[in-house]
Structure 1
Amino acid sequence: MKSLPFIDLVIVIAYLVGMVAVGIYFSRKNTSADQFTKASGSIPGWAIGISIYATFLSSNTFLGVPGKAFGSNWNSFVFSLSMPFAAWIATKYFIPFYRNSGAVSAYTHLEHRFGAWARTYAVICFLLTQLARMGSIFFGIALSLQALTGYPMSTIMIVVGICIVLYTVMGGMEAVIWTEVVQGVIKTVGALVILYLVVVGVDGGMSKIIEVGKVDDKFSLGTFAPDFTQASFWVVLFYGFFMNLNNFGMDQNYVQRYHTTSSIKEAASSVWLCVYLYLPVSLIFFLLGSCLYAYYQGHPELLQTIKMQVAAERLPGGTSAAITNLASTLTPADYGDKVMPHFMVNKVPVGLLGLIIAAIMSAAMSTISSGMNASATVFSVDIYQKYIKSNLSPKESLRLLYIATTVFGLLGMVTGIAMIGVKSVLDVWWMLSGIFAGGMLGLFLLGIISKNTKNTEALTATIIGILVIIWMTFSSQLPDEYASLRNPLHQNMIMVVGTLSIFLIGLILTRLKKQVPDQEEMVLDKE
C-alpha cells in the first residue's frame, strides 16, 4: 500500500495486526471442538446480535448497495424491510427448535426426518452458497482496495485472505464473534464518515441531494404493480423474506451462533438486535448511493473519469477513440460499483482514509471468517464424521476444524478471483444465493411443518424443485426458436419459486399418499 499516505498505511496495518492478535489471544482457549465451534455457550446475546449484524453488513452492503442505489434506486432496500417478518418466524419457531435439539449442525434434523440424502443435499447447497458469498465479498473488497492502492485485485485478495485465515483458524468462533463486534462498530462509523463527506461536498447540501434524487426517481422502492418479470417491490419483498428466513432459520452462520448464548431468550434477542441495527444502517448506505449520484451530477468531469476507467477495463488494449466511444454509452448501472472507491481516493482526507479502508476490510473479514468457521463445522460434522471417520478424538476433531477452515478460506479466495470482471457484485451474489438456497429452504420447511411427509415424498419434491430451479436459471440461454420455453420471471424469483415448489409439491404428494390408504380402507370396510 505504498501509494497511501503514511498515517493511513499505519492505520490499516494496525487494524490487520490487531485482528490477527485477537486470534492469537483466543487461541489459548481452543482446546476442544466445542469451544472452537460454539465458544462453549458463553457469549452474551448483545455481542451475538452485533456479530450477526456485522455478518449482514458485508462488503456487498458497503460497496454494492451504494453502487446499486447510484445506478438505479432504492428498490433493493425492500430486502431489508422483509427482515422483521423472517426474524419473527425464526425466533418463534426455529431458534427454540435448534436449542432444544442441541445439534451444532443446522442439517442434522434433515437426516432424522428424511434420511442421509436430505442432510447431504442441504450441506452441499450450504457449502456452495458459502463459496458464492465469500467469493463475492473477496471480490468486493478487492474492487475498492485496487482503486485505493493500485495493486492487482488478485494480490489484494491473497493478502487479506491470509490475515482472515490466520485469526479465524487460531481464534475459532469466539474470536470471530468478538472481532465482528469491533468490525460492526468500525463499519458503521466508516459509513457515517463517508456520508458526511459526500453531503458536505454537494453544493446545496441535503436539500440539493433530495431535489436531484426526486427528479431522477432515485428514492423509488420499485413499482407496486403485481409484476414478477422485473425487480418490482413485491419481487424483492418475497425474495428478501425467503432469503432472510434462510439466513435466520437454517444458515449455519447464524444457527451456530444460537448455540453460543446461554438461553433461547438470549439467542432470540440477538436476532432482533441485528434487525434493529441493520434496518437503519442499510438505509444509510442507500442514502449514500443517492448522495453520491447528486455529487457526481455536479461534477461531470469526475464522472467522465470513472466512465473512461470502466471502458478501458472492458476494452483492454483498445484505442483511445474506441474507449471514448464505449464510455459514452455506459449507464450509471454500468459503473455504480466504481463510484464510492473513486470518491474515497479523491475526497477522503488523510487519516480518515485509513479508517475507511479498515471499515471496508472489516466488512469483508467479518462475513468471510463466519463463513469459514461455519463451513468447516458443517464439513466436519455432516461429511467427514458421517462418511469418513466417526470416532474422532478431541485432538483429531480440532485438527480437522483447523484444516477445513483453512481450505474453505482458500476456496473462497479462488472464487473471488474467478469473479473479477463482473458488472454488479450485489446482483451476482443475489443470483447465486437464490439458486443454491432455494431448494435447501424448501426441504427444511417441509421437514419442520409437515410431520406426515416421509422420505419418498420429500425426495420426489426435491428432485422436481431442483429441475424447476435449473430451468428458471438457464432457460434464458435457449435459442430464439424456443423462446416460449424461457423463464418469464425475474431472477430473484428463483429463490421464491424453488422454495415453494419443493414445499408445496411435498405437501401435495403427502396428501395424495394419505388419501390412497383411506380409500383402500373404505373398500375393505364395504367388503
Structure 2
Amino acid sequence: MTSLTIRPLDAIAIAAYLVGMLTLGFISARRSATAEHYFVGHRDFPGWVIGLSMLGSIISSTTFLALPAAAYVLDWRQLTVNLMVPIVAVVAIVIFIPFFRRAGLTSAFEYLGDRFGPVARLYGTASFIFLQLIRLAQVLFLMSLPMQFLTGASIEWVIVGAGVFVALYAVAGGMETVVWADAIQAAIKVLGGVLCLICVVKEMPGGFAQIVDVGTANNKFSLGKFEWDVHQRTFWTVAILGLLNWLNIYSGEQTIVQRYVSAKSTWEARKATMIFSAVAVPVWTMFFFIGTSLFVFFRVFPDPAVASLQPDQMLPYFVFKHVPVGIAGIVIAAVLAAAMSALDSGVNSIATVTVVDVLKPYLAKGRSDRFYLTAARVATVAALVLAVGGALFFSRLEKESMNDVSLIVFSVLGGAITGVYMLGFFTRRVDGFAVNIALAVAVALNVYLGLGVMKVLPEAWRVPVHSYWVGTVVNLVFMAIAYGIARFRRASTRDLSGLTVWTMKKADGRPEAAGQ
C-alpha cells in the first residue's frame, strides 16, 4: 500500500486547497477580536451560507469514506437514518429555531438552564462535549487514511499532523472561519463525490446499468427487513434510531444551534435548514451508491490488494489506483474538506459551550472578554489534542465500518439529552426537580444497558436488544419517569414565557415575526 505515490497534479490540487483554508483562517482571525465574534460571528450570515455550512459540518469524512464502506460491506440500511431528515427538519423549522433565536442565545444548553436549571444544563453540556470528541476522533482517523496512502507515513504521524493543521486555521479564526470554510468545503465535497462516481461508472464495461444489475443481484440496495425485531438492524430499528438522532441534532446539537443563532434573522435560519435538508439526502444517497459501485467494480476487476484493506480504505484506494491524475487530487481534497469542516465546527462548538456553559456561569464568573476569548482558543486546542488521542484509538479498533461505530456510539452513549429537550419544548408541567430525578435513573439505566452491549455483564444479566435500541429505550424511560413525577406534583407557578411551544409568545402577547 505504501507504493501508492502522489502525482504532481494531484499534489497541486491538494496543496491549493490546504493553502486556501489557512489563508481564510488567518484573514478571519483579524476580525475575531471578541469572544462573542469567536462564537457566532456578527450574527449576520445569510441563509444560503449557513445552509452550506450546515452541510459542510454534518457531511464529514464519515460520509465520504464510511458511508461507501457501509454500502460496500453490507447494504443501504444505514441510509435509513438519514432518510428521517426531512421529517425532523419540519419540526426544526417550525419549533426549534425560534427557541434558540430568542434573547440572543449562544449555546443550545442555555435553554436547558432557563427551562430546568443548572443540572440539566451541565448534563447537556457534558454529554455534548463527550460525544463530539468521539465524533471528531472518528473524523480525524478517517481523514488520515488517504493521507497515509499519499505519504507512506505511519497512521500515527498522519493523525498528529492532520490535527496540527486543523489547529492552525480553526483556532485563529473562530466562527467566521468555520462558517465560510464549511460552505466552501461543502461545495468541494459534493464535487469530489460526483467526480468519483463518474470515474467508477466510466470504468464499468456495462456502465450504470451494470452497477444496478450486479448490486441488485447481491441485495446491495436493501434498506433492511421490514419487520419489527429489536434484536436486529431492521428497517424500523434504523428508522427509529434516525428519528432520535436527528431530533438530537436539530434540537440540541451545538454545531447546528450555533448556526441558527449566527444567521441574520429567523427566516434566514429557517431557509438555511431547508437548504441543508433538501441537499443532504441526495448527497448521502450518492455516497451509498458509490459504495455499491465499488463493490461491483472489484467483483468485475478483482484486485488481490483489496483483501488486506479495511472497508473505510476502499474509496481512497480506488481513487489512487483508478482515478485520472488531477481529478484524484480534487477527490482527495474533497475527503480532506469533509474532515476539516467537521473538525473546525466541532472544536469551535466545544470551545463555545466550555466558555458559555461552564466558565461564565460557574467556574470563572465576571472575567474580562479577553480572558474568555483566550479560554475559547485554549479549549479549541485541548479538544483537538483529545481528538488526536481518540483517532489513534480508532486506528487500532476492529470494526465493520466507522459508520456502524458512529451509530452505536450515538445510541449507547447519547444518554437522555433528546428527551430533555422534548420535555422542555412540549410540556409545561415537567420541572427541574422531575428532570433531575429522571436523569439519575436514566444515567444508571444507560450504564447498565451499555455494559450489556459491551458484554461486560454476564449473559443472564443482559437485556437482549440490539445496540441501536439503547438510546431509544433510555430516552423513553427518562421521559416517562420525568412526566410521571410531574403528574404527582403540584403544577409549578414558574413563568415559562418563551420556553415551551405553548408559551412561545413575545412579551406583548403577539407571536414572533418570521424575520426576527
1:395-428, CA deviations, whole angstroms, 9 ceiling, x for partnerless residues? Answer: 2221111111111122112211121123221122
1:373-406, CA deviations, whole angstroms, 9 ceiling, x for partnerless residues? Answer: 0000000111112222111212222111111111
Q: Does 1:168 align with 2:170?
A: yes
If you compute each CA radius of gyration, which structure gives the higher value, 1 or 2?
Answer: 1
Q: Does 1:346 align with 2:321?
A: yes
Which of 404, 409, 417 does residue 384 from structure 2 map onto? 409
Q: What is the deviation of 1:268?
A: 1.1
Q: What is the deviation of 1:38?
A: 0.8
Q: What is the deviation of 1:479?
A: 7.5
Partner amino acid, structure 1, of 2:477: S
Q: What is the deviation of 1:146?
A: 1.7
Specify the SS of the correspondent of 1:390: coil
- The residue aligned with 1:359 is 334
Counterparts of 1:135 and 1:4 in 2: how far apart (Å)?
Answer: 25
1:33-53, CA deviations, whole angstroms, 9 ceiling, x for partnerless residues? Answer: 111111111110110000001
Task: Note the 1:5-20 alignment, pairs <5 A.
Answer: 5-20=7-22
- The residue aligned with 2:497 is none
- After TM superposition, the structure 1 stretch with the greater mean CA deviation from structure 2, 39-48 or 152-161, is 152-161
Counterparts of 1:476 and 1:174 in 2: how far apart (Å)?
Answer: 41
Specify the SS of the correspondent of 1:41: coil
Task: Note the 1:424-439 alignment, pairs <5 A.
Answer: 424-439=401-416
Specify the SS of the correspondent of 2:88: helix
Which of 166, 176, 179 does residue 181 from structure 2 map onto? 179
Counterparts of 2:275 and 2:21 in 1: how far apart (Å)?
Answer: 24
Which of 297, 300, 306 does residue 298 from structure 1 map onto? 300
Which of 261, 274, 278 does residue 280 from structure 2 map onto? 278
Task: Note the 1:45-444 alignment, pairs <5 A.
Answer: 45-300=47-302, 302=303, 304-307=304-307, 309-310=308-309, 335-422=310-397, 423=399, 424-444=401-421
Counterparts of 1:259 and 1:477 in 2: how far apart (Å)?
Answer: 38
Counterparts of 1:477 and 1:81 in 2: how far apart (Å)?
Answer: 28
1:492-515, CA deviations, whole angstroms, 9 ceiling, x for partnerless residues? Answer: 112222222211221112113359
Counterparts of 1:52 and 1:185 in 2: how far apart (Å)?
Answer: 12
Q: What is the deviation of 1:162?
A: 1.5
- The residue aligned with 2:489 is 513
- The residue aligned with 2:480 is 504
Counterparts of 2:454 and 2:29 in 1: how far apart (Å)?
Answer: 49
Name the Cα RMSD after superposition. 1.7
Q: For the Cα contact (< 8 Å) 1:67–1:336, is it kept in 2?
A: yes
Counterparts of 1:56 and 1:477 in 2: how far apart (Å)?
Answer: 27
- After TM superposition, the structure 1 stretch with the greater mean CA deviation from structure 2, 372-381 or 105-114, is 105-114
Q: For the Cα contact (< 8 Å) 1:133–1:433, is it kept in 2?
A: no
Q: For the Cα contact (< 8 Å) 1:58–1:363, is it kept in 2?
A: yes
- The residue aligned with 1:323 is none
1:323-371, CA deviations, whole angstroms, 9 ceiling, x for partnerless residues? Answer: xxxxxxxxxxxx4222212211210121112111110000000001000
Q: What is the deviation of 1:442?
A: 1.4
Q: What is the deviation of 1:190?
A: 0.5
Q: What is the deviation of 1:81?
A: 0.9
Q: For the Cα contact (< 8 Å) 1:246–1:437, is it kept in 2?
A: no
Counterparts of 1:386 and 1:436 in 2: how far apart (Å)?
Answer: 26
Query: What is the number of equivalent residue pairs in this alignment?
Result: 487
1:13-72, CA deviations, whole angstroms, 9 ceiling, x for partnerless residues? Answer: 221111010011111111111111111111101100000011111000100000100111
Q: Does 1:487 align with 2:489?
A: no
Counterparts of 1:190 and 1:446 in 2: how far apart (Å)?
Answer: 41
- The residue aligned with 1:32 is 34
**Which blocks of at least 5 consecutive residues in structure 2 are unaligned?**
492-516
Counterparts of 1:8 and 1:375 in 2: how far apart (Å)?
Answer: 34
Counterparts of 2:102 and 2:352 in 1: how far apart (Å)?
Answer: 19
Greater fraction helix: 1
Q: TM-score, normalised by structure 2?
A: 0.91
Specify the SS of the correspondent of 1:48: helix
Q: What is the deviation of 1:474?
A: 1.4
Counterparts of 1:416 and 1:476 in 2: how far apart (Å)?
Answer: 22
Q: For the Cα contact (< 8 Å) 1:306–1:339, is it kept in 2?
A: yes
Q: What is the deviation of 1:115?
A: 2.3
Q: What is the deviation of 1:449?
A: 2.0
Q: For the Cα contact (< 8 Å) 1:49–1:269, is it kept in 2?
A: yes
Q: What is the deviation of 1:477?
A: 4.8
Counterparts of 2:328 and 2:490 in 1: how far apart (Å)?
Answer: 65
1:177-198, CA deviations, whole angstroms, 9 ceiling, x for partnerless residues? Answer: 1111110111111111110111
Q: TM-score, normalised by structure 1?
A: 0.89
Specify the SS of the correspondent of 2:489: helix
Q: For the Cα contact (< 8 Å) 1:139–1:425, is it kept in 2?
A: no
Change in CA separation of 1:219 and 1:454 when aligned onto 2, cut-off 3 Å? same
Specify the SS of the correspondent of 1:107: helix
Superposed structure 1 runs of 4+ greater than 3 Å apart: 476-480
Counterparts of 2:200 and 2:175 in 1: how far apart (Å)?
Answer: 37
Q: What is the deviation of 1:433?
A: 2.2
- After TM superposition, the structure 1 stretch with the greater mean CA deviation from structure 2, 443-452 or 80-89, is 443-452
Counterparts of 1:383 and 1:94 in 2: how far apart (Å)?
Answer: 23
Q: What is the deviation of 1:478?
A: 4.9
Counterparts of 1:130 and 1:111 in 2: how far apart (Å)?
Answer: 20
Counterparts of 1:377 and 1:465 in 2: how far apart (Å)?
Answer: 27
**Which blocks of at least 5 consecutive residues in structure 1 are unaligned?**
311-334, 516-527
Q: What is the deviation of 1:447?
A: 2.2
Q: What is the deviation of 1:436?
A: 3.4
Counterparts of 1:4 and 1:248 in 2: how far apart (Å)?
Answer: 40
Q: For the Cα contact (< 8 Å) 1:139–1:157, is it kept in 2?
A: yes
